[in-house]
Amino acid sequence: RFGDRVACPLCIAGGLERLSEHPLAGAVVAAAEASGHPCPSPKVEGFRALPGRGATGEIDGKQYYIGNPRLFQEMDVDLSPAEGSITRFQEDGRTAILLGTREQVDAAFALEDTLRRDAVAPIGELRQLGVDHVIILTGDNAPAAQSVARAAGITEVRAGLLPDEKVKAIERLVDEYGSVAMVGDGVNDAPALSAATVGIAMGAAGSDAALEAADIVFMGDDLSRLPLLVRISRATMNVIRQNIAFSLLIKAVAVAAVFPGWLTLWLAIMADMGATVLVTLNAMRLIGFRLRPNSRGVTGHDKLR
């Protein structure tokens, strides 16, 4: 907080973020509710999300903005009162968000990403499955992103990205590797989810925009489903290839049997119906792909691998 220009910056920040769908907004709202300040949540009018930057809304006839430092730089607001706090937060591996108007910065808040307990094991499982390149794309500052990446065992980080910059990063990765799966949950992730070969949204925590843009939606918020998703996908593709090969083989044998006169009506019917029954039974093996914990605590098994 810088001076006494705002009676309760946390209350104003909480009021603005209460209307936001961004995952970080919940942390600000929770902090405002737990602060013990007597002021009620202010009434916000004309709320508008600013993708990749923050949000804005009018409170008591005054337009407030909350978001990353880039937002205020683009409005040519003097950041000198907050520079010390921003630098300190970033050196500590935290994300700095600012509250203010078009004239001044009133307060700075530090948000720290804590690594999910279920994040490390799936990344190791993905590498065991041959997914060698795991990359973090984030709008957070580089020190904060690097801190999370080190804890998760990820070596490549691309930080400070706006939504359109995430899309460009995905497009470059597609050109480089051919196929890219993107996992996201926020409004800022939606364009990148659409640009990826496969977009995967976290259903429990995901925004509506992310859910609409994704190809696959996890109904829960469990990252351990990622390795299972890869196993199921590979098993499904194996079954599809087997069924196509078997069907073509049966048809080829039936056609070849026509010329010497070996193919009778009943054999033709058996070849046609028999192929249908066999490929259906083969596909039904996928029903056996069930969730169960293994010795590493990761769900899934390799029955059809």
Burial group, residue 204, by CB count within 10 angstroms (0-12, 13-18, 19+): exposed
The gap from C-alpha 207 to its chain's centroid, in whole angstroms, comes to 10
Of residues 209, 235, 207, the one with CA closest to residue 221: 207
**Runs of H (alpha helix) within the chain:** 9-17, 25-34, 69-74, 80-91, 120-128, 142-152, 163-177, 190-195, 208-213, 225-258, 265-283
Q: Are 14 and 2 a contacting pair, CB within 8 Å? A: no
Question: In angstroms, what CA-CA distances link 166 with 116, 131, 192?
Answer: 22, 20, 6
pTM value is 0.65
The answer to whether the CB of 127 falls within 8 A of the CB of 134 is: yes
Q: What is the pLDDT along the chain (305 residues), one digit of tens a residue?
A: 665 665 688 888 888 988 887 777 888 888 887 876 656 678 889 999 888 788 999 998 899 999 988 899 999 999 988 888 888 887 777 888 899 999 999 999 988 777 777 778 888 888 888 888 899 998 888 888 888 888 888 888 998 888 889 999 999 999 999 889 999 887 788 899 999 999 998 875 557 778 888 888 887 777 888 888 888 889 899 999 999 998 888 888 888 888 887 877 777 887 788 888 888 998 888 886 654 444 333 333 433 33
